[in-house]
Amino acid sequence: MSLISISEVSHNFADRDIFKDISFSLEHNSRIGLVGPNGSGKTTLFNILAKRIVPHKGVVHQAKKLKIAYLSQEVELDETQTLYECVSSANEKINQTSKELDAARKAVVTDSSEVNLKKLERLEEQYYQMGGYHYASEMKIILAGFNLELDMWERKIADFSGGEKTRIQFTRILLAEKDIMLLDEPTNHLDFTMIYWLENYLVKQEKPYLIISHDRHFLDKTVSKIAELRNMRIYMTHGNYSTWESDRANRELTQVREYKRQQKFIKETEDFIARNMAGQKVQQAKSRQKMLNRMEVISKPEHEKRINLSFKSSTRSGNDVFIFEDAVLGYPGNALTKPLNLYIHYRNRIALVGENGSGKTTLLRCITNELKPLAGTAKIGASLNIGYYDQMRTELDEGLNVFDTLQSLMPGAEQGEVLSWLARFSFIGDDVFKSVMVLSGGEKARLYLAKLIWQQPNFLILDEPTNHLDINTIEELEKSLQHYQGTVIFVSHDSYFIQRVANKIWLFKDKMITEMDQEIEEVFTHEMFLSSRKKESIDNRPAREKKINPQVLEKILTELGKMQTELSALEQQIEKLETAYGTREVYNDKARFMELKTEHDKLKLDRKYLLVKIEEKETEYLEKSE
């Protein structure tokens, strides 16, 4: 039986249809990526599936007592709580059972009656089955995966940034009691190491999920089916994003053929009915009319409207676009880098990759002269006309509407010229008079691109340009930048975008910026953080420089020794408890038996995670000693 199903659902906003008679289901094994242009109704469909919105037509069915974990783009957290309070309370069932278990243990101490002992035993088993003993460890794993470290746990939610709050909310979603997950843009505000961790975490989960994402690499790694919203209908394709993309042309061609074949059949049938409704074949004509009335008509395929992006530069810059000489980047009292010597040449397309907070945006702000290096020099080239795409889009005046925003750049232009330019970016009709304040994230991104392209810069600085853009627009942006005659430097966590646009990759790590020789796939999948991969990237260094410091190996061996000692102590404790189970004294004392069982389960869990740590430390030693 389906967890959620919708049948012949239609929905509209004002006079615009979003869906027409769509049917769709989520099963126990569903791992589906939901794609489609901005405005096609992806988030609306999520809200319908979660019964937050009632569709204008059709039926929505949920399995009885279904629990949905819904990651929306709107953060809803109690800002008075600490991070630990917020996250540890995510699973209400585990927390409630934990309280009942504590009460039951206290009750047995004062009254070891058969009733109390049975209740304690039942709660112990229930807590174990729901993963209560694993909950604290799972919480630590997820928080570490989202880079929310131990020293942050006592901070109030109100003190975290917007991106950090999104990650905290996501942590609660992953820990919550649930039957299915609906994840709306889960990779927003994650750097590529977090995305890599999340990919691996999700594919190991047994719970089904539906994901809205424009991150094509992420969809490739996490889903086994693509649901595409297009032309008010939904189309299902088995496989990941790459499978869906490779078959896209065939699907569209098939739909055109089916539409033409059906239209020909309808015309021929209507001609037969018109000729024979009053003749001898009237019964056949009526029968065919009934058949037409019952027929599901195939919608006319509409050519996908794509934004017309084409970056042009008004003038050519010099060959030396930007030079850092012994430059230390950061803020007073907080140096983010060591002295850097970097060179940006004409027609470079440089991708900046690294963990959040490593200094990528700081480097961009130094290039735009918003910041000065803490030490060293930053030299800007000649004849530069810089176009800066700020991920926060702070340059957009929210007091203006869309039309006035563009007209302010071209005060002498005719109204028709402004409207024509806006139409290139899918602002048509009443959309051009919408206030910037009420625009969606995708609409603001398109408006910002419209401004940027009009200015015809010869040096583009782009900070997370693909955020809030749909896949079609991202693909158009990729093509435009590939043919751009100027210089580009950009920050992105979209590995597909980096692979198709960049001709250089600068990795931010350990307060240094290194130009990487690897393909972005290797960088994205975390390989560069392994010692073996690092050694491959410095093969031209003298052999003596590649040798690991013996003191480092000694330190790892010391840590391994401590872990092995700890493991031995755990094994002894477990063995002691198991021996105690067999004694008549404990066997006849149920309260004592349950107390030992609880302790035994916790020790076994500790042993499990210690064995994982030992394996990781042994792998580290082998890699460094090769």
CATH number at residue 503: 3.40.50.300
Burial pattern 594-607, b for ≥16 Cβ within 10 A else e, equals bbbbbebbebeebb
Same domain, residue pair 344 and 483 = yes
Owning domain of residue 602: 550-625
State the pLDDT at residue 44.
93
Taking residues 100-116, report their average pLDDT.
85
Query: 494 in a domain, yes or no?
Result: yes
Q: How large is the average pLDDT for residues 297-311? A: 74
pLDDT above 70 for 548: no
Residues 595, 525 share a domain:
no
* HSE value, Cβ hemisphere, 13 Å, CA-based, for 540: 2
- Partners of 378 in the β-ladder: 324
Greater model confidence, 161 or 347: 347
Query: CB of 26 within 8 A of CB of 32?
Result: yes
Decide which of 128 and 225 is more confident: 225
- Both 271 and 392 in one domain: the answer is no
Q: Does the pLDDT at position 542 exceed 70?
A: no
Highest mean pLDDT: which of 132-141, 391-400, 488-497? 488-497
- Lowest-confidence region among 347-361, 407-421, 599-613: 599-613
409 and 332 both lie in a single domain: yes
Among 331-340, 418-427, 435-444, 566-575, the range scoring the smallest mean pLDDT is: 566-575
Asked if residue 401 and residue 361 are part of one domain, the reply reads yes
Residues 452 and 588 in one domain: no
Does 83 reside within a domain?
no
Same domain, residue pair 466 and 587: no
- Span of 113-122, 217-226, 262-271 with lowest mean pLDDT: 113-122
Cβ(480)–Cβ(310) below 8 Å: yes
Do 483 and 397 belong to one domain?
yes
Within 8 A by CB and 6+ apart from 562, the residues are none
Please give the share of the chain, as a percent, with pLDDT higher than 70: 90
Residue 406 lies in a domain: yes
Please enumerate, as own/partner, the contacts of 587-594 that have beta carbons within 8 Å and a separation of 24 or more. Answer: 589/112, 590/108, 590/112, 590/117, 590/121, 591/108, 591/109, 591/112, 591/117, 591/120, 594/105, 594/108, 594/117, 594/120, 594/121, 594/124
Residue 535 domain-assigned? Answer: yes
At 539, the pLDDT band (50, 70, 90 cuts) reads very low
Distance CA 615, CA 610 (A): 9
| Burial of residue 335 (number of CB atoms within 10 Å: 0-12, 13-18, 19+) | middle
Residue 176 placed within a domain: no
* Full DSSP string of 119-154: HHHHHHHHHHHTTHHHHHHHHHHHHHHTT--GGGTT
Q: How many domains does the chain have?
A: 3
pLDDT band at residue 541 under the 50/70/90 scheme: very low
Q: What is the mean pLDDT of residues 385-411?
A: 85
At 582 the pLDDT is 58
Residues 439 and 567 in one domain: no
The CA distance from 376 to 221, in Å, is: 42
pTM of the model: 0.74
Residue 599 pLDDT? 78
Question: Please, what is the average pLDDT of the chain?
Answer: 85
Lowest-confidence pick of 171-175, 308-312, 527-531, 567-571: 527-531
Residues 462 and 385 in one domain: yes
Which of 341, 322, 314, 456 has its CA nearest to residue 381? 322
Q: Which of 475, 506, 541 is the C-terminal boundary of a domain? A: 541
Dump pLDDT digits (tens) for 233-265: 898 999 999 999 888 778 778 888 888 999 999
Q: Token digits for 159?
A: 């003190």
* Residue 230 placed within a domain: no
In this structure, the answer to whether residues 501 and 530 fall within a common structural domain is: yes
Mean pLDDT of the region 321-325: 95
Q: Which amino acid would we find at residue 124? A: E
Domain boundary among 523, 541, 559: 541
Which stretch of DSSP H or E encloses residue 87? helix 83-88
Determine, yes or no, domain membership for 559: yes
pLDDT recorded at residue 444 = 87
Half-sphere exposure of 206 (CA within 13 A, CB side): 3
How much is the pLDDT for 584? 67
The type of residue at 39 is: G
Decide if pLDDT at 100 tops 80: yes
Residue 31 lies in a domain: no
Closest CA to 62 of 49, 52, 72: 49
Query: Looking at the predicted structure, is the pLDDT value of residue 535 above 50?
Result: no
Q: Give yes or no: residues 569 and 515 share one domain.
A: no
